Amino acid sequence: MTALGCEEEVVTGTPNPAQAAPGKGADAGAEDGDGQKDTALPLVEFSEADFVESEDSRDPFRDFAHLFVKKTQGDRVVQRKVKASQFALDELRLVGIITRATRRVMLTDPTGFGWVLFTGDFVAKPELVSAGGTDGTEVAINWRIDRIRPKDVVFIREDAAHPEIPPTTRVMPLFPTEDEGRSGS
């Protein structure tokens, strides 16, 4: 039994130059089998302006996803990456501390989602603090992980606009005592 139609034609030897480059040489104006004249494609010249992006010609690889992202926190511009930003620090629970290699902690939110955080990470919903002065404007300030110790995590909240005010510090223990557990309830 033989199989037909699955193999390509094998060409050996050097091809004829007239066959190798159709449209050049003596066959450039020849007619094909249908009686129509074989015409070469026109040479297209491109300029630098053809590659500039405009309303008529846009880059097909440009990412426009940022235009469709819903902005959060009203009209305020988020200037830093804050993890678990929809929950207050009191709502988060410390469930693990890793002190070997790069220190990190794991906090869980009320939905049970785990957040892995490192020293310097900003966490939790911003708290509004009065800036003082005559206008009494409020400034949103986030908690930041200052230190990760073997049995607890130290969070600080500082106002960069007022460095003369000492930062607020909170310590979240890994194993809260009974008094701390009851006061949170």
Q: How far apart are CA 145 and CA 155, in angstroms?
A: 5
pLDDT means per 10 residues, the chain with 185 residues, are: 60 58 49 66 86 78 77 58 90 92 92 93 85 69 92 90 84 81 45
CB 110 within 8 A of CB 91: yes
Say how far apart CA 34 and CA 21 lie, in whole Å. Answer: 20
Q: In this structure, is residue 112 part of a structural domain? A: yes
**Residue 183 pLDDT:** 44
Cα separation, 61 vs 69, whole angstroms:
18
In this structure, what CATH number is given to the domain that contains residue 118?
2.30.30.830
Q: Which residue has the tokens 């039994």?
A: 1
pLDDT of residue 53: 81
* pLDDT tens digits, 79-114: 678 898 899 999 999 999 998 888 999 999 999 999
The pair of three-digit structure tokens given for residue 79, joined into one six-digit string: 């200037």
Residue 142 lies in a domain: yes
Look at residue 144 and tell me if it is in a domain. yes
For the chain, the C-alpha Rg in angstroms (whole number) is 35
| Single-letter residue type at 94 | L
Q: What is the pTM of this model?
A: 0.52
Owning domain of residue 148: 82-183
Asked if residue 119 is part of any domain, the answer here is yes
Q: Report the number of distinct structural domains present in the chain.
A: 1
- CA 174, chain centre distance (Å): 31
